[in-house]
Structure formats: C-alpha cells, structure tokens
Amino acid sequence: MKIKNILVATDFSNEAYNALFYASQIFALEPCTFYILNAFDDIVVSAKNVLFARQKELEKLEINSKENLAKTVHKIVLDTNNSKHNFKTISSKDSLLNIISKTIDNYDIDLIVLGNKGRTGAKELFMGSNTIKIANKITKCPILAIPKEIAFKPINEIAFVTDYKKGCTKTTLAMLLNIAAVTDASIAVLHINEEEIMTPKQVSNQNLLNICLLKTPHSYDEIWNYNDKASVIQDFIVEREISMLAMAYHRRKFFERFLHEPVIMDLSIYATIPFLILPVQD
C-alpha cells in the first residue's frame, strides 16, 4: 500500500509537534498529505472555568485553534523543507475521538500519528492514556505513537511481537510492511510462545506471515510466555537496538492481556521508540 494521507492530532504541545516532525521524517521520501487536527472541544471540557462557556468564548477558542494550526504548518514547512509533503489543517469543536473517527472516513486516512506524554502508571507510560483510548475506539486504521520528545533516528529494525493467533494477514500487516519498505528497515518477529504445541490456526498464521515477509528482510526469535513478558520484550528491544515496536491489536487477546499485566518494573524503554498499533482485519 502507498501512504497518501496521514492524520496527526495536536494539542500544540512539544510532544505533539515532535510526533508530526518524526512522522514527516519516516515518510520523507514519500509524497503524502499530513492532516494536522486540533479538537478544541477537549480544551473546553478540561477547563472547568469555561465548561459552560458562552458563544464568544467558544469562538475565541476556535480562532486560537486555527491560529495555532497555521503556526504549526509554518514551522513544520520550515523545519522539513520537503516538496513531497502537503500540510492541511482541521480545527473542530468536538471530542478528539469523535473527530478522528469522522476524519478517517472523510479524508481516507491511512495512518494516525499521536504524540505520547505518558503518565505515572505502567500502561500509560507504555502508550499514553490518549493512545489507549483511541486504540480502543479506532479499529480500522493503524496508529503510530511517538513517545515524549525523542529525537528522530533512522528506522533500521522493527520488532513485530506476535502470538500467531491473529494479525498475520497482508491487510493487517500492510502499514508495517510499508514503513519497513520506505525506511529500508528489517523486521524482527518475536513470537511469544504460550503453548507447548501451536494450534493449526497458529501454524497457518505463521505461514501467512512468512508469505507476507518474503520481500522484506526479516528474522525470527521465540520466547516462552513468561510472567514478565514486558521485561523480555524490553530486553529484546535493547539488545537488538530496535527502532520501532509493532503489535497487532485485537481486543481481549494477547495485546490487551499484555497491557493489563501486573508488571512491576521500569517500562521507560517503551518511552524511547515509536509504537505501531496494527488493527486486526482478519
């Protein structure tokens, strides 16, 4: 698949701008349009003193949103100077989730990019609370979460963590394969082995994955389903100097179990590389 339209949500924070810049560097050689979205209704909801703002106050918020979006476009154009990229803005009085859902359909969005601020909880540190909410809501578009204000580094190897139960079709893996292709990166498949013997379905999915990766440099590693899966993945990322982590998201399956594990450990590594969430279409 060719990436044509990328949606980047912003609250005008440094993290949000960094996510936009990071994505522009990943797709630096690809002609595409970036839709920079600000949902200013979220600002209203979060500020108690303007929760029941009068129309004039809402108008001020809209003006502020549009002005800041214009400034963001001006800055990213200067910072990237890339004639292959087109930047458009969307300002909407709506919740972030609602406007993202609408924008995906209205603008034929291929990828959502989010900047993670992170919280104190392990789950939030792993992905960011907004990312978790959006991943639970948006099930038909890949999400790329860029943590904190990390500096851009070339994508050399992408770790794809799987249990072979779902998420191994060409449709689900399309964005992963695309990013690997445009960055000339290899894919490191990390299989979390949960049973002694794989089911026929898992074997079939493993074969599907093999077919999908035929034209992409790749490797395979396997670990058992330890209680500290997060720690094992962390070690794998560090040892291989992984540039990006990718997982297929299917509710109440491996990905969700992983996020809800009561792991007591330092998950700071997950705040150092981009995280690609692939929606399961199979």
Hey, what are 174's tokens? 């399309």
* Residues ≥6 apart with Cβ < 8 Å to 262: none
Q: Where are the domains of the chain?
A: 5-147, 157-274
Are the C-beta atoms of 155 and 244 separated by less than 8 Å?
A: yes
SS (H, E, C) 139-190: CCCCEEEEECCCCCCCCCEEEEEECCCCCCCHHHHHHHHHHHHHHCCEEEEE
CATH 3.40.1440.60 assigned to 5-147:
no
Q: How far is CA 243 from CA 152, 211, 240, in A?
A: 10, 23, 9
SS (H, E, C) the chain: CCCCEEEEECCCCHHHHHHHHHHHHHCCCCCEEEEEEEECHHHHHHCHHHCCCCHHHHHHHHHHHHHHHHHHHHHHHHHHCCCCEEEEEEEECCCHHHHHHHHHHHCCCCEEEEEECCCCCHHHHHHCHHHHHHHHHCCCCCEEEEECCCCCCCCCEEEEEECCCCCCCHHHHHHHHHHHHHHCCEEEEEEEECCCCCCHHHHHHHHHHHHHCCCCCEEEEEEECCCCHHHHHHHHHHHHCCCEEEEEECCCCHHHHHHCCCCCCCCHHHHCCCEEEEECCC
At the second CATH level, the architecture of 157-274 is 3-Layer(aba) Sandwich (3.40)
Are the C-beta atoms of 5 and 32 separated by less than 8 Å?
A: yes
Task: Report the distance separating Cα 135 and Cα 217, nearest Å.
Answer: 28
Q: What is the pLDDT of residue 265?
A: 35
As a dihedral over the C-alpha atoms of residue 204, residue 208, residue 214, residue 216, rounded to 10 degrees, the angle is -120
Per-residue pLDDT of the chain (282 residues; tens, 9 = 90+): 688 999 999 999 898 999 999 999 999 999 999 999 998 864 444 555 555 545 677 778 889 999 999 999 999 999 999 999 999 999 988 888 889 999 999 999 999 999 876 544 444 444 455 676 787 778 889 999 898 778 899 999 999 999 888 889 999 999 999 999 999 999 999 998 877 788 899 999 999 999 999 999 999 998 876 666 777 788 888 899 999 999 887 654 444 555 554 332 334 445 688 989 898 865
Hey, what are 43's tokens? 């600002």
- Distance, first Cα to last Cα, the chain: 17
Are the C-beta atoms of 274 and 247 separated by less than 8 Å?
A: no
Q: What is the pLDDT of residue 8?
A: 96
